[in-house]
Structure 1
Amino acid sequence: MFTYRRTPELPTREQALKGRPTPMFEVPSRHTVLGNPLTGPYPEHLEVADFALGCFWGAERKFWQVPGVWTTLVGYQGGFTENPTYEEVCSGMTGHTEVVRVVFDPAQVSYDTLLKLFWESHDPTQGFRQGNDVGTQYRSAVYTHSPAHQAAAEASRAAYQQVLTGSGYGQITTAILPADATERPFWPAEAYHQQYLDKNPAGYCGIGGTGVSCPIGVAPARGE
């Protein structure tokens, strides 16, 4: 059994739920919109990016609509519990945040383009919440898969902070960390969460930005 935390607070590794060595559920084989496999291994020419920007239902739809995105899937990342369930993540006792994994073709869409969409699709200054969704699982984060992505994400955060400050917003709380397979593995979410707003077009979407444009340059994709 687990209890729900009334005040959002990240647990320590010792406090976190221990999880389990094997998943409790199976992940669907293919994306309901894009038609490609949800899980890897992916074709070698593709790259991976992980973004946390609030409820992953609406966040995933934002990214699957981008030309050049090959597949998306939602899951949990940044915490301690192995193979967590949605209920465990919502308890606040796993340390995970809701994440969208974006698999994209860098010859068609740049990582900077995805970063720009990430920043403009939520308010990264809200800490353990996003709008009416409150909890550590809704915190903002970028988990990077290469040193180049890490540098680009950090540069974009600095650039966006300048314009947000000028618009009266506070400090960005977004964590930018390597998506280390040991320290910060990605755990896919349950089948009903995958492409939720494709299956439920009128379903809840809590994603909304600040209205402040991110000034990072949208670099051309490789080959253009």
Structure 2
Amino acid sequence: MLFQKTHEMPTAAEALPGRATPLHTDEVHYVSGRPLKGPHPEGFETAILGMGCFWGVERIFWQLPGVWVTSVGYAGGITPNPTYEETCTGRTGHAEVVQVVFNPHETSYGDLLKAFWENHDPTQGMRQGNDVGTTYRSAIYWLNDAQRAEAEASRDAYQAALSKAGRGTITTEIAAAGPYYFAEDYHQGYLAKNPAGYCGIGGTGVICPIGVGVEA
């Protein structure tokens, strides 16, 4: 291992230098055929969410109604245009994330947050199940003040539900979205390309009250 502190975020001095050129990735989504990088229909919105290994996470969201296109990538870190191998060292600071472009007239940001909370365990810190390290942390990267407020309110509502069920404290990082770097082409739509591929996603079994009468 190039970097042993897999549970600690690197400093700028420790981070890998990266590169100025974006990685090669798919141009269109493997399932829908829609462009990963746009243009997207006018009025559509974007969410960036991290829930552990992004292969299974992406499939959850591309199956939801109102979702236009999804992609997987790296966010929340320091190194520009990191490779998958570099993120795995823990020396880029990035989390594996899914970018979701959605039609707000068909689904809401709150609906996406409900799927986010219910489909992983947000109490595990720098890991998700058997996947250990900072790259697998739970994260919501908001793109505007409204998303920030909704993310924080949904966290508080879900924490109350988790506490009632005797579960632990949410460790999800909620932060402003910085650069989003598209992951390599073989990661995009991975479980459609590889139906028997690894999917480490699993929830707590606790229902998030957002969308069932609780306003975020």
Interval of TM-score (by shorter of Structure 1 and Structure 2):
over 0.9
Over 3 Å counting, the alpha-carbon distance change for 1:120 and 1:77 in structure 2 is same
Q: Does 169-178 or 133-142 show the bigger shift?
A: 169-178
Q: Segments of 4+ in structure 1 off by > 4 A?
A: none
**Structure 1 counterpart of 2:78, from 57, 77, 80:** 80
Report the counterpart of residue 5 of structure 1 in structure 2: 4
Residues 1-224 of structure 1 aligned to structure 2 (within 5 Å): 3-5=2-4, 7-23=6-22, 25-179=23-177, 184-217=178-211
Question: Taking structure 2 as the reference length, what is the TM-score of the superposition?
Answer: 0.95
The answer for unaligned runs of 5 or more in structure 2 is none
Distance 1:121 1:94 in 2: 26
1:40 deviates by 2.9
Deviations 1:68-127 (CA, angstroms, capped at 9, x unpaired): 100000000001000000000000000000000000000111111100000000000000
The alignment partner of 1:101 has SS state of strand
Structure 2 contact 6–132 (Cα < 8 Å) conserved: no
The answer for unaligned runs of 5 or more in structure 1 is 220-224
Over 3 Å counting, the alpha-carbon distance change for 1:218 and 1:146 in structure 2 is farther
Once the two structures are aligned, what percentage of the paired residues are identical? 62
Aligned residue identity for 1:215: P
Distance 1:5 1:136 in 2: 11
Distance 2:179 2:212 in 1: 29
The count of corresponding residues between Structure 1 and Structure 2 is 213
1:29 deviates by 1.2
The alignment partner of 2:85 has SS state of helix
Structure 1 contact 55–98 (Cα < 8 Å) conserved: yes
Distance 1:49 1:205 in 2: 21
Q: How big is the alpha-carbon RMSD for the aligned residues of Structure 1 and Structure 2? A: 1.3
1:18 deviates by 1.4
1:6 deviates by 5.4
Over 3 Å counting, the alpha-carbon distance change for 1:52 and 1:31 in structure 2 is same
Structure 1 contact 57–195 (Cα < 8 Å) conserved: yes
Aligned residue identity for 1:206: G
